[in-house]
Amino acid sequence: MGQESSHLIDPDAPPETLSERSLRAVAQLIKDGRAKQIVVMTGAGISTAAGIPDFRSPKTGLYHNLARLNLPHPEAVFEIDFFRSNPAPFYLLAKELYPGNFSPTISHTFIALLAKKGLLRMLFTQNIDCLERAAGVPADRIVEAHGSFATQRCIDCRTPFPDDLMREHVQRGDPPRCTRESCHGLVKPDIVFFGEQLPETFHSNVSVPELADLVLVMGTSLLVHPFAGLPRRAREGVPRVLFNLERVGDMGTRADDVLVLGDCDSGIRKLADELGWRDELEAMWRGIVGDKEAERQLSKSRRGEAVQDELDELVGHVEDKLDISEDGESKPDTNIGMQGGGEREGTADPPHAPGGPPEGNPARAAAADAEELVGDGAAGPAAVSTGSDEESTEGRKTEKSKSREEPKAETDDDDTSTLSYEPLKLTTEKPITQTTSDTAKVKDDEGGGGGDKPAL
């Protein structure tokens, strides 16, 4: 499962519930009172603006940076057997991620605003950072599917460990031991490690998405099961909105799916604008994080926009050098690789190069379909890659290596017993891939991130 080889909905196919596949239509659904049971699903991408890196982004993700700890493999830091033998790496990481070190983003605050307005049925989060709680989402509306730092206990006798003592140990990077003299086992936050059972709250609420009248999916690559199967539990005809750097899972395959590709905060602000909630949302957020932190997060976003502008300018120069005409056809004398019937061998179109008519060109046809499906993303429609680059090659190699090391995910969506991870599956069926601008955002850690927190 994870990212699936699923067919995108035909852009010409009319939606069943929405007036059109756009944020404006989603906002109208809410304003008309037809979305009162909203279910939200979040991953690491909604926390990157807070300064918390996601897991799988090349060069900036936590797994990449854990290499300095000389682990047998990055995921070992979240494996219970490894923790029993060597808890130190986890507590070094815990010191960086512990609640209180970071502040909620505008995306966290939007979920709290939904709850305040009585529209939030349930929030399912993969994150352990507790930022939803800090933003004001009520605890009884949160399912922390992979646990959190909120509580901790001995891994042997399950005796709870005091919060104040836990904070002291985490600040020192010192693994605590059970307070019972007869036990003296290791203490671990109630975070789900690989191979451990998911919390009972997940099992008891796993059917809640079936009751939703609107589903919002934010900042997750939908690679970790059983969480990854939650969006598919929504009934047919229920609008599903994805806020993420790239298309994931089966998002975009239903008539009422809306894809908002870009960083999460930008997409959420656009939805708030359409709802007429923007001023209320911004004021609520600043009241939680303070003006200084708000400006820090906003300046980070502005830097990302500046990078995008520079990339657009660079692409323009490349197009000028290649003498690409308005209909997307390059002049033969400017392309050494052009042969025969106008096909170029061994070359890839420059990023964001304007494409001609899609007829007869599967890649351009897919790009045209994607452009019609994706109309609200801050970064614009995702380009369909017809070549390869260093980052995508690195990503594929990484996923292939992971697939040799990690257990395959369960194929039954209803089997929610343990946490599992499924490597990315490439698709040739009208894929929507990450754009150059999105890749730049990931590199600079400026975007919303699509990487999940498999145990975070």
Residues designated as active site = 146
Tokens 């699903």 sit on residue: 41
Contacts of 1 (CB under 8 A, 6+ apart): 225, 228, 229, 249, 409, 411, 413, 422
Tokens of 125: 């989060």
Integer Cα distance of 91 and 421 in angstroms: 23
* Angle subtended at Cα 349 by Cα 345 and Cα 351, rounded to the nearest 5 degrees: 155
Query: What is the SS3 assignment for 84-142?
Result: HHCCHHHHHHHHHHCCCCCCCCHHHHHHHHHHHCCCEEEEEECCCCCHHHHHCCCHHHE
DSSP 360: T
- In Å, how far are 94, 150, 247, 301, 434 from 381, measured between CA atoms? 37, 39, 11, 19, 9
DSSP 445: T
Tokens of 109: 């605050």
Compute the residue count for the chain. 456
In 3-state terms, what secondary structure has residue 416? coil
- In Å, how far are 34, 162, 396 from 28, measured between CA atoms? 9, 47, 40
In 3-state terms, what secondary structure has residue 375? coil
Tokens 């090349």 sit on residue: 58
Residue by residue, DSSP assigns 178-204 as: -S-TTT--BEEEEEPPBTSBPPHHHHH
The residues pairing with 418 across neighbouring beta strands, listed in sequence order, are: 197
Integer Cα distance of 390 and 383 in angstroms: 16
End-to-end CA separation in angstroms for the chain: 20
Q: Tell me how crowded residue 337 is: count the other CB atoms within 10 A of its CB.
A: 10
Integer Cα distance of 346 and 375 in angstroms: 31
Q: Is 418 exposed, middle or buried (0-12, 13-18, 19+ CB in 10 A)?
A: middle
Integer Cα distance of 18 and 25 in angstroms: 6
